[in-house]
Structure 1
Amino acid sequence: MSENPFNDQSEGRYLNNLLDIGPDKPLGYLPLFTLRDLCMVDPIEVAEYLRQRGLETREWDQSFCHVGSGALYAYDRRSLQILLDRNLKVLNEAGWPNQADDFVVQVATTCVEQPHLFDLVILLIF
């Protein structure tokens, strides 16, 4: 795996939401606007770097994910699945998927309203 090409001070504070993904932070996203215009990086290059680290990535436009410029989502499938398995009751009560890939799609496309589910999503992303 190559060294992190995105770690200078001007980019790091924004990119950490993606670069810190792993067992302790299994899911993150950044708007494409943030990546292109604030971090001055190509979302495709960031996604490629994250995939080299063994993470899953999904890039969706605004019509799909409800983020104004679209967004790049990244997640550690194994770590996310462990947390989802620990929270099956909350997911089932909310009618949300309990498989990592489907859960990420749901997070990207749905506004969370139930308090316990909201707490779970916040725990996973931040």
Structure 2
Amino acid sequence: MASDAPAYVLENLSLVGPAKAVGYLPLRTVAEVLGLNVEDLITQAMARGLRAISIGPHHCCIKSGALYVFDAAALEAVLRVGSATLDQVEAPTDPEMFVRFIARDWFAPDHPIMPIIRAAFADHLRST
């Protein structure tokens, strides 16, 4: 990711890979806080073998929209483990469609899909 931006802000994207399937940053953070171009971050993610999608505010629960970066193979593995729950809540099992699904709405902490979301984002990897 961009070397001149604060590492702790970009960590949500830079840690994406086999151990952290998904990361995101609000589009406003990318542009206004980091002063970066979303397309450049998408290109950097793709160069690392990752997928990246920019989801605008009309299709995202984040007010400004968000940039999502994901490791398709790692996310597919997480989704495979949670397939029964995904079926139960009628969530997609395709990695990109899943990212779009979770981007659209906030889920209550006790929603059945939350363990899958937490596993995908590997919240346990966050530095404090």
Q: Is the pair's TM-score, using the shorter chain for normalization, greater than 0.5?
A: yes
Q: Quick one: which of 66, 77, 88 aligns to 1:93? A: 88
**What is the CA-CA distance between 1:122 and the residue it aligns to?**
2.1
SS in 2 for 1:21: coil
SS in 2 for 1:111: coil
TM-score, normalized by length of structure 2?
0.86
Matched, 1:124 2:111: no
Q: Within 2, Cα distance between the matches of 1:98 and 1:60?
A: 19
Q: Quick one: which of 69, 80, 85 aligns to 2:75? A: 80
Matched, 1:115 2:120: no
Gaps of 5+ in 1: none
Partner of 2:11: 16
Q: Greater share of helix residues, 1 or 2?
A: 1
Partner of 1:31: 26
Identical amino acids, percent of aligned pairs: 25
Partner of 1:71: 66
Offset from partner CA, 1:41-95 (integer Å, 9 cap, x none): 1111111100111111110110111211111111000110011001111111111
Gaps of 5+ in 2: 124-128
Figure out how many residues of one structure are paired with residues of the other and give that number: 121
Offset from partner CA, 1:19-45 (integer Å, 9 cap, x none): 110000001110011111222211111
Give the CA RMSD over aligned residues: 1.5
Partner of 1:7: 3
Q: Within 2, Cα distance between the matches of 1:46 and 1:11?
A: 14
- Code of the residue aligned with 2:87 in structure 1: it is N
Q: Quick one: which of 46, 51, 60 aligns to 2:55? A: 60
* 4+ long deviations beyond 4 Å: none
